[in-house]
């Protein structure tokens, strides 16, 4: 344990090295995602297909129409959910907060379900998901500011809000059974049905949000000092908090619109990355985006390979890993290592 802590302290002095290692790992996992599956494809065939040098072959069709959208979706969803988790934890000053815990994912899922029932247009789903995610964020923020809830109480409120949104999703799908095709997959989270057409509008919103977040990491550092200190430094705390939570909602909502109600990425990755690169927002955001992309792609690979020829939901893999980690965080909070 001491050697691990020593290694982490040393790595904090070289965040660029961490980012470079995560970038290489991301590339390797993306290539494996293109190659592995029911039909195994060599790296040369995958690269050839991407370069459109043999677009008519079976390998090219598998890569371009099945695995490429899925790989891009896992990379985008992982990065978006991880960065959303960093923002939410920083703004709420709560290490237990994450998009799926405080109702952001469930709110986005409800909005997507209603959108599919009323106006089943693929391009509208990311916008609807953003609206639903924002509703979840505002409810939790309102609860936090009006009650002064402790960290664990805030998490419990988020769980209650998620349950309400999930019940409403069930109600909508009962009245409109065709509203959300593959509802079970959406509820568990998965990338099996992702297409480039479905991915494009969400990818645009995620890309814009990531660029904005990364360009404003200095404000996030000031906000992390606490409301009183940030106010004394001339920062308008409430509008800034709302702005960053809006970005978190855009990221999480866009991811949910195509990958379903995936959990724990926004909780696991920020904690793991923070232990290695520290609290400074710029390297934390960058490495969390890369770490989230790695985790989501790895879990998608495991979902395909563990029970082959059957496929497990990605959300199941993440829950098996993330559930015990969340329980450990709760015990750590109750143990008084991090005070309310």
Determine the Cα–Cα distance for residues 152 and 29; give it in Å rounded to an integer.
Answer: 35
3-state secondary structure of 68: helix
CA distances from 90 to 20, 23, 311 (A): 24, 24, 35
Q: Are 41 and 59 in contact (CB under 8 A)?
A: yes
pTM for the whole thing? 0.88
3-state secondary structure of 251: helix
Closest CA to 169 of 200, 136, 121: 136
What domains sit in the chain, N to C, each tagged with a CATH number? 2-334 (1.10.3470.10)
Closest CA to 73 of 176, 175, 192: 192
pLDDT number for residue 340: 44
pLDDT number for residue 288: 95
Q: Is 184 exposed, middle or buried (0-12, 13-18, 19+ CB in 10 A)?
A: exposed
CA distances from 323 to 59, 101, 329 (A): 37, 11, 10
Give the pair of three-digit tokens for residue 285.
């955001």
Determine the Cα–Cα distance for residues 93 and 224; give it in Å rounded to an integer.
Answer: 7
pLDDT number for residue 338: 44
pLDDT number for residue 78: 95
Q: Is 69 exposed, middle or buried (0-12, 13-18, 19+ CB in 10 A)?
A: buried
**How confident is the prediction along the chain (340 residues), in pLDDT tens digits per residue?**
555 455 555 566 667 888 999 999 999 999 999 988 777 888 888 888 788 766 667 778 888 888 899 999 999 999 999 999 999 999 888 887 888 888 888 888 888 888 888 877 777 788 888 888 888 888 887 877 777 666 677 777 888 888 898 899 888 888 887 776 666 667 777 888 788 888 988 899 999 999 999 999 999 999 888 888 888 888 888 889 889 989 999 999 889 888 888 888 988 899 889 988 888 899 999 999 999 999 999 999 988 888 777 778 888 888 888 878 777 776 776 554 444 4
């Amino acid at each position: 344990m001491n050697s691990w802590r020593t290694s982490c302290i040393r790595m904090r002095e070289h965040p660029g090295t961490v980012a470079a290692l995560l970038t290489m790992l991301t590339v390797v996992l993306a290539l494996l995602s293109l190659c592995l599956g029911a039909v195994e494809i060599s790296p040369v065939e995958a690269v050839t297909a991407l370069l459109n040098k043999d677009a008519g072959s079976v390998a090219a069709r598998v890569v371009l129409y099945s695995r490429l959208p899925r790989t891009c979706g896992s990379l985008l969803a992982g990065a978006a959910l991880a960065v959303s988790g960093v923002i939410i934890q920083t703004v709420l000053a709560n290490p237990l907060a994450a998009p799926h815990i405080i109702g952001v994912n469930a709110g986005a899922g409800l909005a997507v379900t209603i959108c599919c029932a009323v106006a089943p247009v693929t391009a509208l789903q990311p916008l609807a998901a953003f609206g639903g995610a924002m509703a979840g964020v505002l409810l939790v923020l309102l609860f936090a500011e009006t009650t002064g809830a402790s960290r664990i109480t805030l998490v419990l409120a988020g769980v209650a809000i998620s349950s309400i949104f999930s019940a409403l999703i069930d109600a909508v799908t009962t009245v409109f059974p065709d509203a959300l095709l593959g509802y079970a997959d959406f509820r568990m989270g998965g990338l099996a049905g992702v297409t480039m057409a479905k991915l494009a509008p969400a990818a645009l919103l995620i890309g814009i949000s990531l660029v904005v977040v990364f360009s404003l990491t200095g404000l996030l550092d000031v906000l992390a000092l606490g409301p009183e200190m940030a106010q004394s430094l001339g920062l308008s705390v409430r509008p800034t908090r709302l702005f960053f939570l809006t970005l978190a909602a855009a990221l999480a909502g866009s991811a949910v619109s195509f990958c379903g109600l995936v959990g724990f990425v926004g909780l696991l990755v920020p904690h793991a990355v923070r232990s290695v690169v520290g609290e400074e927002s710029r390297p934390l955001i960058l490495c969390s985006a890369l770490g989230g992309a790695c985790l989501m792609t790895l879990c998608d690979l495991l979902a395909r390979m563990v029970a082959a020829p059957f496929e497990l939901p990605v959300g199941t893999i993440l829950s098996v890993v993330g559930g015990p980690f969340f329980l450990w965080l709760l015990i750590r909070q109750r143990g008084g290592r991090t005070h309310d």
